[in-house]
Amino acid sequence: MTQIKAAVCHAHGAPLQIETVNLRAPDMGEVEVTLKACAICHSDIHFADGAWGGKLPAIFGHEAAGHVSAVGAGIRGVAVGDPVVVTLIRACGTCPTCGSGRPVLCAAPPQHDGPLTTLDGGPIVQAMDSGAFAERVVVDQSQVVKLPADMDLAAAALLACGVITGVGAVVNAAGLRAGQDVVVIGAGGVGLNAIQGARIAGARRIVAVDMTEDKLAIARDFGATDGVLATDEKPWRAAKKALGKGADVVIVTVGAIPAYDTAPQYLAMGGRLIMVGMPHSGATSSYEPVMIAATGQGMIGSKMGDVVIARDIPWLVDLYRQDRLKLDELISRTWSLDQINDAIADTRTGAAKRNVILFD
């Protein structure tokens, strides 16, 4: 048992409290990672606000990187001292969905007793199987990917969620072919990565749709060829004008219902709508089934970019080292764990790309 400092959520919507908690040693199949960095994702904020339910107290945080500091029995592929990315993707590797290459949909993720307790022995939920707003985590070995020794760990932390979700939505979920046209709705932490995923995959044109000119300017830095303000009355008209037709692929990266309601309007005949942004539970959207049927379009949900972390994270690390994938530019600011509530408040404004907590 180790004592670590963590940001604990005791009440939905209330500030996180920095306190000392117990972390048990890694069991069979688990690794302990001493974190260097953890990015703040909008999903952490939705969970902390209670948007998707869940028990408390809990420790959120799921986009992390650090060094393996202890291993349980039966660990292969990583050793103490290795730098790793820590993801929330826990997969058995042997169920039918894992076996068919979709570990994000694993039917039987390995179960472990929760590693976190309060100092007096009470339960603490390890949210998203990670609990990475903390100095250390104990996670299943399937959740980590080894990094090159000289990889910057603040940049690497982003690979755990936002980057793979955005790039993967384009490359894995949409199966974009070189020369196709893409519209990305929302140019935030996931949207900017969908944009650079489209650039990497060889899109002809990439139209970013967002609420402000500032966001569209950032989108262009990441590879958007055109920008459209979502505040226009019928923004799909400007997108279609830029493309000369509808889009082969539309990626919705925000959880706003109006974005979902209007997204099919951007599609070309036969186009695919990739649904990535996650509205609150219970929120519904509507569309005209006749249009989807008559135009041969598709609506596809994509969780975590349909990523296979052992394949995709090393690929993305290599692209970063070739200057073909932007990671440093995604970080708007770094903060200490003690500043996490300020960092969350900054993330809520929507202006930040990614805020990253750095541990000493």
- Minimum CB separation of residue 179 from Zn ion in Å reads 31
- Minimum CB separation of residue 354 from Zn ion in Å reads 10
* Site for Zn ion contains 51 (CB under 5 A): no
* Site for Zn ion contains 276 (CB under 5 A): no
User: Per the structure block, which two tokens stand in for 226?
Assistant: 């055109």
CB count in 10 Å sphere of residue 111: 8
Among the listed residues 16, 23, 35, 43, the single contact to Zn ion using CB under 5 A: 43
- In the chain, the largest separation of any two C-alpha atoms, in whole Å, equals 64
In terms of CB distance, is 91 or 250 closer to Zn ion? 91
Query: Would you give the binding string for Zn ion spanning residues 105-144, x where CB under 5 A is met?
Result: -x--------------------------------------
| Separation of alpha carbons 303 and 172, rounded Å | 11
In terms of CB distance, is 126 or 262 closer to Zn ion? 126
In terms of CB distance, is 118 or 332 closer to Zn ion? 332
Stretch that binds Zn ion, among 4-12, 160-168, 269-277, 294-302 (CB under 5 A): 160-168
* Site for Zn ion contains 347 (CB under 5 A): no
* Site for Zn ion contains 308 (CB under 5 A): no
| Separation of alpha carbons 109 and 103, rounded Å | 9
* Site for Zn ion contains 156 (CB under 5 A): no
Cα separation values, 303 from 173, 227, 253, 332, Å: 9, 26, 11, 25
| Separation of alpha carbons 176 and 178, rounded Å | 7
Stretch that binds Zn ion, among 21-29, 97-105, 257-265, 318-326 (CB under 5 A): 97-105
Across-strand partners of 228? 209
- Minimum CB separation of residue 162 from Zn ion in Å reads 6
* Site for Zn ion contains 217 (CB under 5 A): no
Amino acid making up residue 343:
A
Among the listed residues 18, 45, 70, 95, the single contact to Zn ion using CB under 5 A: 95
Among the listed residues 8, 31, 59, 98, the single contact to Zn ion using CB under 5 A: 98
Q: Is 307 helix (H, G, I), strand (E, B) or coil?
A: coil
Q: Cis peptide before 96, with omega less than 30 degrees from 0? A: no
Chain-centroid distance of CA 89 in Å reads 11
Nearest to 216 by CA among 192, 246, 247, 252: 192
Residue facing Zn ion at closest CB distance: 41
DSSP 170: I
Stretch that binds Zn ion, among 8-16, 36-44, 173-181, 350-358 (CB under 5 A): 36-44
Nearest to 358 by CA among 72, 92, 65, 80: 65
* Site for Zn ion contains 278 (CB under 5 A): no
* Percent of the chain as helix, strand, coil, to the nearest 5: 30, 25, 40
Stretch that binds Zn ion, among 93-101, 171-179, 232-240, 350-358 (CB under 5 A): 93-101
Across-strand partners of 93? none
With CB under 5 A as the rule, give the number of residues binding Zn ion: 8
Residues that bind Zn ion (CB under 5 A): 41, 43, 91-92, 95, 98, 106, 161
